[in-house]
Amino acid sequence: MNNIPVIAIDGPAASGKGTVAKGLAKALGFHYLESGALYRLVAFVAQRESIDPNDAPALAQVASALQIRFIEDQIFLSGQEVAEQLRVESIGNLASQIAAHPALRRALLERQRAFRAAPGLSCDGRDMGTVVFPDAALKVFYTARVEVRAERRLKQLKQKGLDANLADLSRDLAERDARDAARATAPLAAAADALILDASDLRVDQALDVLMRWARERQIGVTTTAPARGN
């Protein structure tokens, strides 16, 4: 039994779940895990080393051997900063393809659980509430309409100076959602006990208000030590 609280935010690609999971971590002083970055890191190494996306044992081996450090928004792979390189759509798509291998998912499981540390963890992905942290104190399925997600992703990529167009992005996102939802292992799905938030028409601060209210209702991040008494 682990009583360190976890907030698990799962949902489809580009729903904005990373932004709110990070926002919650900041507001509550919690640690943060972007689990998708782990799948992207494996995809990045697989691409660099020309590993066949169907070679599950080789990919699981890559996952077990990854030397990673997360420092704020930076991601170091064997000492080299790679955060920007992980963001490109080709890596996201490859991550989604290889994420279907149970052996790879198993290889990443304990690594993800190791992020659970006091005073708490806020994390986002596809299976945080269903598989990785089934005892999470708050589980949210965070979603938005596909057009809204494609617009957001386009803006994000353009800000980074990366090239993209809306039609391709919408198609890729829909394909990725279908693949993530259809796979046999840890498919994209709301946990039975998850609260569902459709953020299509919410600004980030409004979505965060809802999530903070849900966290408060569950006493998450509330210190239980009694206040010191004055004489």
Name the site residues for ligand CDP (rule: CB under 6 A): 13-14, 35-36, 39-40, 92, 95-96, 99, 125-127, 176, 180
Closer Cβ to ligand CDP, 126 or 139, answer by number? 126
Contact in structure between 179 and 13 (CB atoms under 8 Å)? no
Closer Cβ to ligand CDP, 14 or 207, answer by number? 14
Contacts of 142 (CB under 8 A, 6+ apart): 9, 10, 11, 15, 16, 17, 20, 124, 197, 199, 207
The CB-of-230 to ligand CDP minimum distance in angstroms stands at 47
The CB-of-137 to ligand CDP minimum distance in angstroms stands at 18
For ligand CDP, which residue has the nearest CB? 36
Closer Cβ to ligand CDP, 135 or 223, answer by number? 135
Closer Cβ to ligand CDP, 110 or 217, answer by number? 110
Instruction: Give the C-alpha separation, 197 to 174, whole Å.
Output: 19
The CB-of-218 to ligand CDP minimum distance in angstroms stands at 22
The CB-of-14 to ligand CDP minimum distance in angstroms stands at 5
Q: Which residues pair with 76 in a beta bridge?
A: 69, 81
Instruction: Give the C-alpha separation, 61 to 78, whole Å.
Output: 15
User: Phi-psi bin for 110: left (phi > 0), alpha (psi -120 to 50), beta?
Assistant: alpha
